[in-house]
Structure 1
């Protein structure tokens, strides 16, 4: 769309006003009204067209100047139809560009009514009917323009609401994409970090057996390699389940979603790295699937951090129902984080995992040293035993 400079618009409006003034003068001369067009009438007629050149820039002053000039012209009984185009254009321009349109148009209509009364007092019935017809035409145009303006405003409101709704949908889509990316990153981190850490520890143990000065204990080496193979199988199974979830595949039947039943396998894998791990998950009962997955992932990441960073000898893993919630706790006797503040994506992932199900998670130095992770996950009240 090409936007014309303001000066070019003013020049074009002035040319249009000059053209309309010439046509109006020709009409007033060729078809005179009650009174022939004389010098004062011609001056009023031409002057009434001057505001049209400026009404786009100043709608209210332009309309006011036009009304001040056309009222004496009509009251003097000159050719009334000659000014109808200028009046219609001025009213139309103000209806589109002006402010307080209803009040201003009401005042203009009142002034036109005063003009009709004045003409009725000075002229006969024929002239009165003629002026009423002219004013009816002008008022009809004004009403039509006002209806069009209201329609345009309503259409603009509808368009704005549609654009706002579209922006809201786009923002919601972006938010969901960001949340999904975060969930994918969290799942892959929990899965791969745990499996790769255990494989690294087990492979190191196997390498130590091979490099040892004493004869190779084939059974110990076979156990180490079997642990690596088992960890790879478990990782492959979990990765398949994660990919099925991302693809929207139903994994409920295949049982590949991790849950509290798999925490025992996590404990055994941690024990395979040479750490003494105690598990207490008595009386946990059946958990909602999302709570079970969150508890599993939190224990998985906590044990991964112990194996990688803690240099611990003993770890305690406990799950218990307390006050309508599931409390998951993993504590060790290792060296703990430097400065007492947990760092890295692992702890952040555990916090996000707990929040995703409406729970909370605290991670920091334990009361007796080491490091402790405590998560509280909300549960529906457990059914009472009968």
Structure 2
């Protein structure tokens, strides 16, 4: 409720109220009706316009004061129409600025009805008809302002709901952008970290051949460099496919999304980096695309971590169905993550991959040493990639 007016409003309202009182007095003198306007009637008429000067600042007291004055004015059978403008203005102002509008305006209408009954008991038929016409006009204003008030409240509610919906849409858009950024970061990390790690290992092996004391074996060096070139080509191809998927232009292209069929290439690349890798992936059958992508990325990141941190010689990669899901297990015989290893997002990324399809992932030391990554990816709870 707004009850504090701007500076100068009260003075303007007082001037308007005085002008309206003069007009009302002229109407009452020129068309007296049942009773001529005398000194007492003039005092009541002028007093009825005084509350209009402060109706904006104090809507409830202003309306109450007006009702107290207009009731004896009407009961005394003075010119009824002269006060209708003041009554309408007061009622409308209270409808805009007041509280408990229905109760107060209902009480005002009741008092006016009592006034009609009182006048009917004191006057003849024509006067009663005139008075009833006046009260009908005032009651019509009461109903109109109530309808207007309800309409304004409904518009305010609609506006508030629209603003809340807009805020919700903005928050949802921000959330989706954050999720998409996380997905892009995860995809690029899984791809680039694996490829760069293998290139680093293969380049180190080639440098060792060149710096070694034994005679340089050109065929062996060529194989090492060819492995580097092959890894670069594979990384470029996979990066191109990943960017197509992220742009929404390659989701339907065959081979755009990596899957279990590409795990053999990951194993071959790891073997090229000097690891002995044992792969077992029999009996997988047809997997949902999102499960295949998650399995591929988890194996990729697990092998990358082994090459970078584990100092392992042997790695076992197992993929198999277990009930209604796919179980992925990567175990090595290395030292596991060392305290000197740089902080990264590898394990966190694998956990997010598993969760994105409704699965779980555990990573930790194995019972007989080394490090073990085990992911369970359920088929029934798979979530389609966005």
TM over 0.5: yes
Q: Normalising to structure 2: TM-score of the pair?
A: 0.93
Alpha-carbon contact 2:312-2:334 (below 8 Å) kept = yes
Report the Cα offset of residue 232 of structure 1. Answer: 0.8
User: Is residue 270–residue 303 contact of structure 1 (8 Å, CA) maintained in 2?
Assistant: yes
| Structure 2 Cα separation of the partners of residues 251 and 86 of structure 1 | 73
In the alignment, which residue of structure 2 is the partner of 1:151?
A: 151
Structure 2, unaligned runs of 5 or more: 382-386
Matches within 5 A, 1:153-232: 153-232=153-232
- Cα distance in 1 for residues equivalent to 2:65 and 2:323: 81
Q: Please name the residue that 1:15 is paired with.
A: 15
Matched residue of 2:255: which SS? coil
Query: How many angstroms apart in 1 are the aligned matches of 2:158 and 2:372?
Result: 56
Match of 2:271 in 1: 271
Contact 2:4 2:57 in 1 (8 A): no
8 Å Cα contact 1:330/1:372 also seen in 2: yes
- Equivalent in the alignment of 2:45: 45
Q: Kindly report which structure 2 residues correspond to 1:258-297, keeping only aligned pairs within 5 A, or say none.
A: 258-297=258-297
Per the alignment, in what secondary structure is the counterpart of residue 134 of structure 1? helix
Q: Which residue of 1 aligns with 2:332?
A: 332
**2:363, 2:343 → 1: CA distance?**
10
260-269 vs 102-111, greater mean Cα deviation: 102-111
For 1:107 and 1:176, the matched residues in 2 are separated by: 55
Deviations 1:9-33 (A, max 9, x none): 2222222222222222222223223
CA distance in 1, matches of 2:18, 2:270: 95
For residues 215 and 157 of structure 1, do their structure 2 counterparts lie closer, same or farther at Cα, with a shift above 3 Å needed?
same
In 2, the alpha carbon distance for the partners of 1:97 and 1:328 equals 69
Mapped to 2, the partners of 1:117 and 1:78 lie a distance apart of 16
Cα deviation 1:162-186 (Å, max 9, x = unaligned): 2222222222222111111111111
Check the 8 A contact 1:331/1:373 in 2, yes or no. Answer: yes
Residue equivalent to 1:321: 321
Counterpart position of 2:384: none
1:384 aligns to what? none
Give 1:206 shift: 0.6
Aligned to 2:63: 63
**What is the TM-score when the length of structure 1 is the normalising length?**
0.93
Does structure 1 residue 114 correspond to structure 2 residue 114? yes
What is the SS of the residue equivalent to 2:233?
helix
Name the SS for the 2:8 alignment partner.
helix
Separation of aligned partners in 1, 2:319 and 2:79: 99
1:84 aligns with 2:84: yes
Instruction: Give the 3-state SS of the residue equivalent to 1:77 in structure 2.
Output: coil
- Structure 1 contact 340–364 (Cα < 8 Å) conserved: no
Structure 1: stretches of 5+ with no match in the other structure: 382-386
Q: Does 1:133 align with 2:133?
A: yes
Shift of 1:370: 2.2
CA distance in 2, matches of 1:342, 1:46: 89
CA offset digits 1:349-375 (Å, max 9, x no partner):
111111111111112222222222111
User: Residue 323 and residue 340 in structure 1: after superposition, are their counterparts in 2 closer, same or farther (change >3 A)?
Assistant: farther
Query: CA offsets, 1:74-101, max 9 Å, x none?
Result: 1011111111111001111112222222
CA contact (8 A) 1:59 1:98 kept: yes
Change (3 A) 1:73 1:310: same
Alpha-carbon distance between aligned partners in 2 of 1:15 and 1:293, rounded to the nearest angstrom: 80
For 1:291-343, what per-residue CA distance to the aligned partner results, in whole angstroms no more than 9, with x for missing partners? 00000001101111111111112211111211311111112222223469995
3-state SS of paired residue (1:25): helix
Shift of 1:227: 0.6
Q: Distance in 1 between matches of 2:124 and 2:253?
A: 97
Matched, 1:241 2:241: yes
**In 2, are the aligned partners of 1:332 and 1:370 still within 8 Å (CA)?**
yes
Q: What is the root-mean-square deviation in Å for CA atoms of aligned residues?
A: 2.1
| Residues in 1 aligned to 2:366 and 2:13: alpha-carbon distance in whole angstroms | 83
Pair 1:70–1:285, CA change in 2 (3 A): same
- SS of structure 2 residue aligned to 1:35: coil
- Contact kept? 2:21, 2:46, Cα under 8 Å: yes
